[in-house]
Amino acid sequence: MFRPAVPAALLLACAPAWAQAPAPQPEAPADGRRNQRVERIVHEDAGNRIEELRYAGQVQSITVQPKGEVPAYEVTPATPTRGRVADERNGNGGAGGGQRFWNVFNF
């Protein structure tokens, strides 16, 4: 009388495990080269024209061309790899901006 009850109890105990959905497979990482894109963004107003170059969402270069008789200058974007100590020494104080520089041959 107890023998048929034991396999039936085992089957009932295992039923929730069979009813579970299989674990979802993790998504394959996207190919980095096809996923990266180059963006050239231009902002222009009455006083300046700003050209920004981004690669994969990260700013690579910023060029500012004032509308007056002033030469253009570039802004080196701040990156996380550059030390904050150097920024504080230059007086930026963690403002998040980059360093400006002019091309001497354009003067």
Instruction: Print the domain residue range for 87.
Output: 36-107
Answer yes or no: pTM beyond 0.85.
Answer: no
* 6, part of any domain: no
Q: In this predicted structure, what is the pLDDT of residue 30?
A: 64
104 is a domain residue = yes
Q: What is the pLDDT of residues 68-98, one digit of tens each?
A: 888 888 988 876 655 555 555 555 555 556 6
In a domain, 26, yes or no: no
**9: in domain:** no
Is residue 98 domain-resident? yes
Question: What does the pLDDT read at residue 88?
Answer: 56
Percentage, residues of the chain above pLDDT 90: 20
Question: What is the phi/psi pair of residue 84, to 5°?
Answer: -75, -25
Number of domains in the chain: 1
Q: What is the pLDDT of residue 5?
A: 77
